[in-house]
């Protein structure tokens, strides 16, 4: 090897060493300059972890406070807290019927409002005989719109209405596409699911405000949590009830009025009779009686609740789902229920 070649080799080696030193130095400089960003990201991660832990602890506490502690302590005196009479709409079956019985078991007099006179009379007699309370009935079809309310107002006159349970609701025959609904069905959904609650609240609330006590329960649905395809108009009407209830509570809580948005998930009632799967009672699909027993204990405690502890767990999970994931899952579930229902129809 010539001297010139040796010199070039040494120069190349020195250059490589210098490059390595320069690269190491560059990495150190980058590390120093990024330290503030790394620390910021670490702080954000710590805050997110703390928030997640706090949310989990708070949700667990809420679950226990709402659904377990009230069942261990003495039952609240609803007559003393709110008044002598309760009005329950849509009460001849399902949640409404069971909720009315639960209120009667706490010695609240019951006014039953529904469209089937025979069923109303049978239920009124059953409640009066079983729980030794006064009962009254009002026959009204909420799908008829504004024409029914003067008669209801007259029937309620002179009674101390302490609790109003807006349970009356209308569902599709089964989950379906919006364009498959008839115009009559759409108006019925509006009149029953939205109009009824507004008009009944408007009717009884002034006297509650005068007495500075009262409770209003608006029965919404799990479908109010997120946009729910194949139940579009129904879920939108229940979302309205949820927002209506929450806003009303902020308006009238300072005047002693408790307003609750009750958000049940699947319950074994006539509303789910289109599906054999949903009419079978199980851990996640309770009977209306079991559901009502739990739901009444949340009255006066939570202004927005599912009313049932397993539904609360489902509700908490639903809140953290991205909208697209909820919609995707809801579409698949409702479409399978739609196909199940249509396949059961006689041809």
Contact 109, 160 (CB under 8 A): no
Contact 125, 102 (CB under 8 A): no
- Of 211, 124, 113, which is closest to residue 160 (Cα–Cα)? 211
225 vs 316: CA distance, rounded Å: 10
Query: SS3 of 165, please?
Result: strand
User: Which of these is catalytic: 172, 234, 240, 308?
Assistant: 234
Assign 3-class secondary structure to 60-128: HHHHHHHHCHHHHCCCCCHHHHCCCEEEEECCCCHHHHHHHHHHHHCCCEEEEEECCHHHHHHHHHHHH
Contact 259, 301 (CB under 8 A): no
234 is catalytic: yes
Phi and psi at residue 181, in whole multiples of 5°? -75, 145
Active-site positions read: 234
């Amino acid at each position: 090897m010539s001297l010139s070649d040796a010199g070039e080799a040494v120069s190349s080696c020195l250059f490589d060493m210098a490059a390595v030193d320069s690269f190491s130095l560059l990495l150190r400089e980058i590390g120093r300059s990024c330290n503030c960003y790394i620390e910021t990201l670490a702080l954000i991660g710590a805050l997110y972890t703390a928030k997640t832990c706090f949310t989990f602890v708070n949700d667990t506490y809420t679950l226990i406070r709402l659904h377990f502690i009230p069942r261990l302590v003495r039952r609240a005196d609803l007559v003393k807290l709110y008044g002598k009479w309760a009005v329950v709409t849509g009460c001849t079956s399902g949640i409404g019927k069971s909720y009315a019985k639960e209120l009667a078991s706490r010695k609240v007099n019951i006014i039953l409002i529904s469209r089937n006179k025979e069923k109303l009379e049978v239920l009124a007699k059953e409640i009066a005989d079983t729980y030794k309370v006064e009962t009254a009935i009002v026959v009204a079809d909420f799908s008829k719109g504004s024409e029914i309310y003067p008669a209801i107002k007259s029937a309620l006159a002179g009674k101390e209405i302490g609790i109003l349970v807006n349970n009356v609701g209308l569902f599709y025959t089964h989950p379906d596409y919006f364009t498959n609904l008839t115009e009559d069905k759409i108006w019925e959904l509006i009149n029953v699911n939205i109009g009824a609650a507004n008009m009944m609240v408007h009717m009884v609330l002034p006297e509650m405000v005068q007495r500075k006590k009262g409770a209003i329960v608006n029965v919404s649905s799990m479908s109010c949590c997120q946009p729910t395809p194949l139940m579009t108009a129904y879920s939108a009407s229940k979302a309205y009830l949820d927002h209506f209830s929450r806003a009303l509570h902020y308006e009238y809580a300072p005047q002693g009025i408790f307003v609750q948005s009750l958000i049940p998930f699947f319950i074994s009632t006539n509303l789910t009779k289109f599906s054999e799967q949903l009419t079978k009672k199980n851990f996640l699909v309770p009977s209306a009686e079991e559901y009502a027993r739990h739901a009444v204990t949340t009255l006066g405690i939570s202004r927005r609740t599912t009313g049932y502890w397993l539904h609360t767990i489902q509700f908490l999970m639903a809140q953290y789902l991205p909208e697209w994931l909820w919609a995707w899952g809801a579409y698949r579930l409702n479409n399978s229920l739609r196909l199940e229902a249509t396949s059961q129809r006689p041809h």
